[in-house]
Structure 1
Amino acid sequence: MARDPDTIQREIELAREALASTLDQLGTKANPKKLVDDARSSARNTLAEPKVKIPLIGAGVLLVLLVLKKLFS
């Protein structure tokens, strides 16, 4: 059964609009600045958690003490 050329044209336009929308979304998600900002935000949130922050502070203090001991020994 043959399809109406106007129907085919409308389907093509809808497909183009959907493709353009998808490309815009991909462009936004793949933006390097956005990726860096998201990674930075995620790292800050992770480091702000007490279960991560306290051991890191402890490791830092231990490192400073070891360096001081090495310098003054």
Structure 2
Amino acid sequence: MADRDPEAIKKDIDQARDQLAATVDSLAVRANPHRLAEDAKAKIVAFVTKPPVLLTLAGAGTVVVVVVIRRIRRR
């Protein structure tokens, strides 16, 4: 084992501690439930506002309304 200066060892430990702290902070931000919910909401809104999806949802909504009206009239 190479002889190392205690100050160099302390410096290495401090550097490793700082890197670990930065990693933990980064993971805490990425795993924040509020941020995850906001990201999911943004992705869903972006997907639903695409024209093909809007047309599909409008068509499905129209079919549901027609079916409900027909069932109400048959009673």
TM-score normalised by the chain length of structure 1:
0.96
**Residue 45 of structure 1: how far off its partner (Å):** 0.4
Q: Pairwise CA RMSD of aligned residues?
A: 0.6
Deviation at 1:51, TM superposition (A): 1.4
Aligned residue in 2 for 1:12: 13
Distance in 2 separating the partners of 1:53 and 1:13:
54
Q: Could you tell me how far apart the structure 2 residues matched to 1:70 and 1:31 are?
A: 46
Alpha-carbon distance, 1:53 to partner: 1.1
Pairs within 5 Å for 1:24-35: 24-35=25-36
Partner residue in 2 for 1:51: 52
What is the identity percentage for the equivalent residue pairs of Structure 1 and Structure 2?
A: 36
Gaps of 5+ in 2: none
User: Could you say what secondary structure the match of 2:3 adopts?
Assistant: coil
Q: Which contiguous aligned blocks of 4+ residues in structure 1 show a shift greater than 3 angstroms?
A: none
The superposition leaves residues 31-52 of structure 1 with CA deviations (integer Å, 9 ceiling, x where unpaired) of 1100111101110000000111
Cα deviation, 1:8-66, whole Å, max 9, x if unaligned, reads: 10000000000000010100010110011110111000000011111011001101100
Number of matched pairs = 73
> Which amino acid counterpart does residue 41 of structure 1 have in structure 2?
A
Structure 1 residue ranges without an equivalent (≥5): none
**Whole-Å Cα distance in 1 between the matches of residues 72 and 15 of structure 2?**
72
